[in-house]
Amino acid sequence: MGRPGTDVYVAGVGMTRFGIHMDRDIRDLCEEAFFEAMEDAGAYPDDIEAGYIGTVGFAWDAPIMAGQIAFEQVGVTGIPITRIENACGSGSNAIREAWLAVKSGEYDVAMASGVETMNRPLQDQIPRFAMFGGGDAMMEGTMGLFPPGIFAMVAQRYLNEGWITREDMGIIAVKNAYHGSMNPKAHYQRTLTMEKVLDARMICYPLGLLDCCPTTDGAAAVVMCSEEALPRFRKHAPVRIRALTQTSGTYCEDNPREFTADSVVRAARMAYEKAEVSPEDIDFVECHDCFTMAEIVHTIDLGFCEREEVGRFIRDGNTQLDGKIPFSVSGGLMSKGHPLGATGPGQYHEVVTQLRGEAGKRQVKDARLALHENGGGFRHGDTGIVCVSILERAD
């Protein structure tokens, strides 16, 4: 048992390659990611005092008691294990619960994880509610409020107002594909041209196929420890979690931040305040860019530019790898992939790899402070769950 209020550090991270794994179930995927995270930390099964797993698996392929099954694969049994479902933010919610458990002093070491096997069931076997992206199928699904539809409507408003062009959306897709091409863990390891993005099959106007994330399988895990326990695991440059916030969407009839995600704005503001930093201090961002339009909106929500300036901000190269504030250097959800519950822990894998200076060709120069944002689901046009973290290299 640690002391209440202790600083919490990431001791180890692990993940499978994200992609299509038709021949692998959650046991197989979690075994790879969990062992990699423990090996990365220098931890043994007996070191893990509490376990958390995020998955939307009831809609796909994960069994009941998925957490116990997954942790048992690496010899971790007998401890408190908690499964969390919170749409696309399930894995980040698991990270937050593990962080709280260590920060409270109840445990010295906890492991958070996420897993999804989205390609194994046939489409007609997936429950109807799963197709609405964590929304309210009865109320919102009948109005066309499913993920591509929502971001398509936002994109049309931005285009009509002249805040962005269709090519600005294409810049995001091309950029993230380039970043993903350098990531051996990414679903897609390819580059794209603007012409290919703009000519892609239309999904929901103006979002084409290459404006959208793929359907992805994978698992990822994060070993966290207290400051007191850190010397037991220090194999790498230490990465400290300076802030980790979570919000839920709310209904607001008169939203002054029209066509932005108020829940993301609130989570980011709280994270900056708790970490005692500002957007100007952040070196790079891993955001929930499930669509090109999502990254554009989050660039505003997270405080990096104003809505009327976002098109120019993108065109000026600010979010490129060598730009002012690189976004989605892993390839993001559109290229690295979006296996729902595994997405947040997978983003942590990238953030920690970057802060350690171990990202190879996609390394952000002099990276010391990072922002992670992951959300999911919808509530009345707002994001249903949002987690924002600020992490720093602490050596």
Enter the pTM of the model: 0.93
User: Which one of the listed residues 88, 212, 225, 290 is annotated catalytic?
Assistant: 88
Name the packing angle between helices 343-355 and 90-103 (round to 10°). 60
**Residue 379: pLDDT band with limits 50, 70, 90:** low
Dump pLDDT digits (tens) for 248-298: 876 555 555 555 668 899 999 999 999 999 999 999 999 999 999 999 999
pLDDT of residue 150: 83
Q: Mean pLDDT score of the chain, rounded to an integer? A: 90
Fold match flag (8-125+216-240 vs 141-212+242-393): yes
Fold of 8-125+216-240: Peroxisomal Thiolase; Chain A, domain 1 (3.40.47)
Residue 195, both tokens: 């012409």
Q: CA 263, 168, 181, 360 torsion: positive or negative?
A: negative
Whole-number Å distance between alpha carbons of 230 and 236 = 11
pLDDT of residue 2: 67
Count each helix (H run) and each strand (E run) in the chain, helices first: 11, 11
pLDDT of residue 142: 55
**244 within 8 A of 371, measured Cβ to Cβ:** no
**Is 338 a known active-site residue?**
yes
pLDDT of residue 372: 98
CATH 3.40.47.10 fits 141-212+242-393, yes or no: yes
Is 82 a residue whose pLDDT tops 80?
A: yes
pLDDT more than 70, % of the chain: 87
Is 109 a residue whose pLDDT tops 90?
A: yes
pLDDT of residue 250: 67
User: Which one of the listed residues 236, 338, 349, 372 is annotated catalytic?
Assistant: 338
Is 159 a residue whose pLDDT tops 70?
A: yes
Q: Where are the domains of the chain?
A: 8-125+216-240, 141-212+242-393
**Residue 62: pLDDT band with limits 50, 70, 90:** low
**Residue 133: pLDDT band with limits 50, 70, 90:** very low
Q: Across the chain, where does the E strand assignment appear? A: 8-15, 50-54, 81-84, 109-117, 202-204, 207-208, 217-226, 239-248, 284-286, 369-379, 382-393
